[in-house]
Structure 1
Amino acid sequence: MGDEVVGTGYTREQRQRYREKVRQCLDVFERMLAESSFDFERPLTGLEIELNLVDAEFEPAMANAAVLESIADPDYQTELGQYNIELNVSPRPLPGDSALELEEALRRSLNEAEHKANAAGAHIVMIGILPTIMQQHFHTEWMSANPRYSALNESVFAARGEDLLIDIASPTSPDRVTAFADTIAPESACTSVQLHLQVSPQEFPASWNAAQALLGPQLAVGANSPYLFGKHLWAETRTVLFLQATDTRSVELRNQGVRPRVFFGERWITSIFDLFEENVRYFPALLPEVSDEDPVAVLDAGGAPRMQELRLHNGTVYRWNRPVYDIVDGRPHLRVENRVLPAGPTVADVMANSAFYYGALRVLSEEDRPVWTKMSFATAESNFTECARRGMSGTVYWPGFGELPAEELVLRHLLPLAHEGLERWNVSKQVRERYLGIIEARCKSGRNGAEWQVSTVRALEARGHHRLSAVREMLRLYAGNMHSNEPVHTWEVPG
């Protein structure tokens, strides 16, 4: 969400001043794209992992303040819900064996954090939606003690004027969730992995377009959120839940075609400026806090303005591939932030999802006749929705292949591209074989995190467990497998 906020309520004058300042920042950003030197000589990748906390019964543990105090590591921070924390990984280059070193560092960090969380009466679980979260958990003190979360909650409901409606039907079972929420609490159930890639202004449009085309296949192989409130819904329910849990539109505004803040987008782009301009043009401010910076004066003096208002506004438009402007060591840089993947199931699986994304993205963004010149943007969105609903069994369209199962598209086309792309990044053969081999095995076995969860719950129900008991037992088995770091396609399903 960018910079911290202070207030929770805003006057009309503040909103007007904020709008003026955001538009001023947008003008400055346009100048910078034409005139400034952005840092991209050594492209870096970054990673954020959102985590859940559970108690001894695998119920949500509203204990992140105590857990973070016990962990005492600045890489771990609060998230929206008191049962959430986030791990931020320092940027690093892709080449060589860097990914293997990162896997080891992540495992070590999470093991230490788990040990310290235990001392605070909690366990850490890395999963897209905590399957034991129920509506009653949101009627307690669920929100983290941070002003920006209170401000966001107040602003969403001030804009909407009525309770949120969560209405999600399963495409493969009779299950359905229909519920109203008087806070943004359901958003806290959505825990993700965010992948960052630093690029030049010239490379950004191709990288973003390629990332948009990849969203469906990413979800197909990486889905890990099939349960909400004990109901079996989409393979990646997190995507539709996030859409509905942050929706500032009334029914009437939706019917008019007003864009949601969880925004897939509506066109391929030719500049990063297109995305920032859309954000300013289409979306009213949620957190209209104004800084003292004069971005024009900073730029005229040869500096790099922070442009806090534009950054904060950009952080409240939830694109699955978000454009990021940031300043590090006084130099501006640009990133594509890929936000579509759920957390988990294991660190090895997270690294495999990352390798697939970075490798395929590299080749797709450099093709002479790229995929987005042969596929409509609406088709990319349709692929995304289909894969969120059905995972690897979803049917997608891809130029040159027509309609085919997502797992077949990955095996026949995208995995070879990912191998080639990682080679272009000078990633070692050992890294390529380990992580892309995991993706290949997932596709051949038909088992990603979502499929394992559903198969396990069904097996437990067949043994006589009722649904909630089966979901709790599944999560207990999941947590044990997660700590083993064996990829999810190798996990056993109870006989």
Structure 2
Amino acid sequence: MGEKIVAGGFDLSDRQRYRRKLQQCLAGLGRLLAEKRFDRPRNLMGLEIELNLADSDGTPRMMNAEVLSRISSPDFQTELAMFNLEVNIVPHRLDRHVFDQLAEELRTGLGYADRRAADVGSGLVMIGILPTLRQQDLVSANLSDVDRYTLLNDQIVAARGEEFTLDIEGVERLTCTSASIAPEAACTSVQLHLQVTPARFADVWNAAQAVAAVQVAVGANSPFLFGRELWRESRPPLFQQATDTRPPELQAQGVRPRTWFGERWVNSAYDLFEENVRYFPALLPICDDEDPLRVLDDGGVPRLQELALHNGTVYRWNRPVYAVVDGVPHLRVENRVLPAGPTVADVVANAAFYYGLVRALAEEARPVWSRLPFAAARENFEAACRHGIEAELLWPRPGRGGITRVPVVKLVRDELLPLAAAGLDAWNIEPADRDLYLGMIEERCRRRTNGASWQAETFHHALEAGLERDAALAATTRRYCDLMREGQPVHTWPVGFPGSDA
């Protein structure tokens, strides 16, 4: 969740001062863009994975501080709740064997961390939502002991002014309330970063928005929450509702939620930062001493701290990122739609599919977003979250006008996988690695299997074997963890349980 912040109160003048600083930061960003001060293209990508801690029974373990002390690596950090961790992979250049390198680094790092966690009776689980989570696990007392999370929770709760309502209707319906943002911690994701030049930013972001639904459909891995079977990818509705600062009256007025797909295609990175400032009140109005315009006048590069902090509290599924590295500013698109897991191979396959597809779509002469209404992209995203790999999406007809509704598995196999392959070729990815990882996506589509479908089928298998609901969810989680550690991609996983384990 970003930079370290010291908790403290805010007085009435803090938000006004912060608003003024945000406007100065926006003006500074505009000048940096106009003066073409940004880093040259370096084809850099980055990866973050949020993780759960669970015991041998598959139930959450509230001990991230102890596990992190045993891992003792700056690559691993706290996340929102005490059963969460995050691993960050250093940026890599997108070329040749980068995906095999990522896979090896992840297997090594996660394997080491899992062994250290096992020393204290815990283990890492790479999954979108841990099926064994209970509502009583997601309370403010189980938030990580970090000032940023405490302060963010306090500010969102104050802005909301009442309890948060969770109401998600899928295969079953879940309704409950929470006095804190802790249910957000149930959502563990993979975040894919791509550094881009300002000239390419809009095309890459628009392409990422257009394919967000496809990513979710083939990668869904979050069908359960608090013992209920909901959407195939239940993270997006949960995240939106668990961070929703709007009481029902503001929702009725059409005020935008802080967890947001967006509402239009963009022409510049500036569009997104400007929308964030215009539409969303500050949650953490903490001001830096920097005068960004004076820094620019003096020939320097401003950090734009207020803008970066505010940007981190608007939860777009494709987020713009401004950062300064070695004194040079750069822009990234941060793709946040994917759940964690099921295996390292699946995570890397999802990444290869995304980076190849975005590269190809961003370079099309007649881009998909010029032919697909933004409202259709937003509708696709919800359909993919609800139905996963069985979703049908709206998509432009190849070579013809208009749009049509097509099963996502057909769209991926007939049109998008060849585009992704061409995109990976443009990144100079080794053909054997391209075919290996895109082949995993193709097999998921051919077998109509992903993490969410496997979890749901295995859960129902356990119910049919006579287990009660909670026992079936626990058995499904234990079997998931066993197969996750074996490391074979999810489309190869057998449904059910070996012997009499169920």
Q: What residue in structure 2 maps to residue 73 of structure 1? A: 73
Q: After superposition, where does 1:138-177 map in structure 2 within 5 Å?
A: 138-139=138-139, 141-170=141-170, 173=171, 175-177=172-174
Q: Is the 8 A contact 1:44 1:91 kept in 2?
A: yes
Q: Is the 8 A contact 1:9 1:154 kept in 2?
A: no
Tell me the TM-score normalised to structure 1 length.
Answer: 0.98
Q: What residue in structure 2 maps to residue 131 of structure 1? A: 131
Runs (4+) off by over 6 Å: none
Q: CA–CA distance in 1 between the matches of 2:389 and 2:409?
A: 5
Task: Quote the offset at 1:139 in angstroms.
Answer: 4.2
**How many pairs were matched up?**
492
Q: What residue in structure 2 maps to residue 229 of structure 1? A: 226
Q: CA–CA distance in 2 between the matches of 1:97 and 1:283?
A: 41
Q: Is the 8 A contact 1:70 1:120 kept in 2?
A: no
**Residue 315 (1) aligns with residue 317 (2):** no
Q: CA–CA distance in 1 between the matches of 2:161 and 2:452?
A: 35
Task: Quote the offset at 1:56 in angstroms.
Answer: 2.6
Q: CA–CA distance in 2 between the matches of 1:121 and 1:9?
A: 38
**Residue 10 (1) aligns with residue 7 (2):** no
Q: Is the 8 A contact 1:395 1:404 kept in 2?
A: yes
Q: CA–CA distance in 1 between the matches of 2:140 and 2:378?
A: 36
Q: What residue in structure 2 maps to residue 324 of structure 1? A: 321
Q: CA–CA distance in 1 between the matches of 2:41 and 2:352?
A: 21
Q: What residue in structure 2 maps to residue 32 of structure 1? A: 32
Q: What residue in structure 1 maps to residue 459 of structure 2? A: 457
Q: What residue in structure 2 maps to residue 109 of structure 1? A: 109
Q: What residue in structure 2 maps to residue 21 of structure 1? A: 21
Q: CA–CA distance in 2 between the matches of 1:334 and 1:43?
A: 12
1:79-125, CA deviations, whole angstroms, 9 ceiling, x for partnerless residues?
00000000000000111011101101110111100011111221100
Q: CA–CA distance in 2 between the matches of 1:62 and 1:147?
A: 17
**Residue 289 (1) aligns with residue 286 (2):** yes
1:17-76, CA deviations, whole angstroms, 9 ceiling, x for partnerless residues?
111101110011001000142113312000000000012321110000000000000000
Say which of 325, 337, 340 aligns to 1:340. 337
Gaps of 5+ in 1: none
1:307-339, CA deviations, whole angstroms, 9 ceiling, x for partnerless residues?
110000000000000000001111100000000
Q: What residue in structure 1 maps to residue 401 of structure 2? A: none
Q: CA–CA distance in 1 between the matches of 2:356 and 2:41?
A: 19
Q: CA–CA distance in 1 between the matches of 2:329 and 2:409?
A: 39
Q: What residue in structure 2 maps to residue 240 of structure 1? A: 237
**Residue 422 (1) aligns with residue 424 (2):** yes
Task: Quote the offset at 1:290 in angstroms.
Answer: 0.5
RMSD between aligned alpha carbons? 1.0
**Residue 435 (1) aligns with residue 432 (2):** no
Q: What residue in structure 1 maps to residue 208 of structure 2? A: 211
* Cα 1:96–1:279 shift into 2, 3 Å: same
Task: Quote the offset at 1:304 in angstroms.
Answer: 1.2
1:468-490, CA deviations, whole angstroms, 9 ceiling, x for partnerless residues?
10110011010111111100000
Q: CA–CA distance in 2 between the matches of 1:10 and 1:41?
A: 40
3-state DSSP of counterpart to 2:266: coil
**Residue 119 (1) aligns with residue 131 (2):** no
Task: Quote the offset at 1:2 in angstroms.
Answer: 3.9
3-state DSSP of counterpart to 2:138: helix
Task: Quote the offset at 1:141 in angstroms.
Answer: 2.6
Q: CA–CA distance in 2 between the matches of 1:140 and 1:473?
A: 28
Higher mean Cα deviation, 403-412 or 435-444? 403-412
Higher mean Cα deviation, 356-365 or 5-14? 5-14
Q: Is the 8 A contact 1:53 1:60 kept in 2?
A: yes
Task: Quote the offset at 1:140 in angstroms.
Answer: 7.1
3-state DSSP of counterpart to 1:73: coil
3-state DSSP of counterpart to 1:196: strand
3-state DSSP of counterpart to 2:299: coil
Q: Aligned AA for 2:58?
A: F
Say which of 374, 382, 386 aligns to 2:383. 386
Q: CA–CA distance in 2 between the matches of 1:40 and 1:260?
A: 34
Higher mean Cα deviation, 138-147 or 400-409? 138-147
Q: CA–CA distance in 2 between the matches of 1:291 and 1:35?
A: 24
Say which of 373, 377, 380 aligns to 1:376. 373
Q: Is the 8 A contact 1:220 1:394 kept in 2?
A: yes
Q: What residue in structure 2 maps to residue 399 of structure 1? A: 396
Say which of 193, 199, 219 aligns to 2:190. 193
Q: Is the 8 A contact 1:395 1:405 kept in 2?
A: yes
Higher mean Cα deviation, 195-204 or 137-146? 137-146
Q: What residue in structure 1 maps to residue 41 of structure 2? A: 41
* Cα 1:22–1:139 shift into 2, 3 Å: closer
Q: Aligned AA for 2:116?
A: K
Q: Percent identity?
A: 54
Q: CA–CA distance in 2 between the matches of 1:357 and 1:140?
A: 35
Q: Is the 8 A contact 1:8 1:150 kept in 2?
A: no
Q: Is the 8 A contact 2:63 2:82 kept in 1?
A: yes
Say which of 231, 248, 251 aligns to 1:251. 248
